Structure 1
Amino acid sequence: MDKVTRLASENRVVIFSKSSCCLCYAVKILFQELKANPEVHEIDQEPEGREMEKALMKLGCSAPVPAVFIGGNLVGSTNEVMSLHLSGQLAQLLKSPQPIS
């Protein structure tokens, strides 16, 4: 869990993903198109990937991937990210200089 929380707070936008997940791909492309420059961690390529997946679930992810963090705080998975994007709130979160609580 410590590794996940540390990685999630090291950059403004962090995505935990799996390289073979199509929903992860869609979320990564969305953030790239929004010019958010996300830090992406492919947990299926990490030696501690299974533990990271369990830690993400303990943090409250409805699905272990994609798990999106902005400002070190969990935003959620695909459904939450897409809902925020469609309502215009995702762009506002990305522009906000303050940490998200």
Structure 2
Amino acid sequence: MSFIFRRLFSTTQPAMSEAAQKKVQQMIDENGVMVFSKSYCPYCNNSKRILDSYGAKYTHYELNQEDDGAEIQKALLDLTGQRTVPNIFIGKQHIGGNSDLEAVVKNGKNGKKIEELLQAAAAIEQ
């Protein structure tokens, strides 16, 4: 009986992870700015305030409020190497967390200022 249980568990786990990976990629692809966060996280809330201050249109996925939040967070770890939140993408490009977003605001990224990144991602009006 334990063999059957282990077999079922081991075959279910990768399928769930694969579904989470596809869901993460779809959210990143379909949204100019995608923020994976937790509603109680002060760093997540700060990142959303920063984006709001630029008038950015963004989608946020509150991992602690979704049934698949833990799986999504595991998929993000596989994709980015980052387990912490917020996990931010602008124009399908991984920005990182709150301190990374603050650095982009201050110094830019790859020679582009935050406004340029948001405009390129069609997340703010030009």
* C-alpha distance 35-48 of structure 1, shift in aligned 2 (>3 A): same
Counterpart position of 1:69: 89
Q: Is the 8 A contact 2:91 2:120 kept in 1?
A: no
Which has more radius of gyration? 2
Deviations 1:56-100 (CA, angstroms, capped at 9, x unpaired)? 1111243431011112221111121111001142222112258xx
Counterparts of 1:11-90 in structure 2, within 5 Å, are 11-88=31-108, 89-90=113-114
Give 1:8's aligned residue: 28
Distance 1:90 1:61 in 2: 23
Residue type at the aligned position of 2:116: Q
Where structure 2 has 5 or more consecutive residues not aligned to the other structure, the ranges are 1-20
- Give the helix-richer structure, 1 or 2: 2
**% identity of equivalent residues:** 32
| TM superposition score normalised by structure 2 | 0.71
Task: Count residues in correspondence.
Answer: 98
Extract unaligned runs of 5+ from structure 1. none
Q: SS at 1:68's partner residue?
A: strand
| CA-atom RMSD in angstroms | 1.6
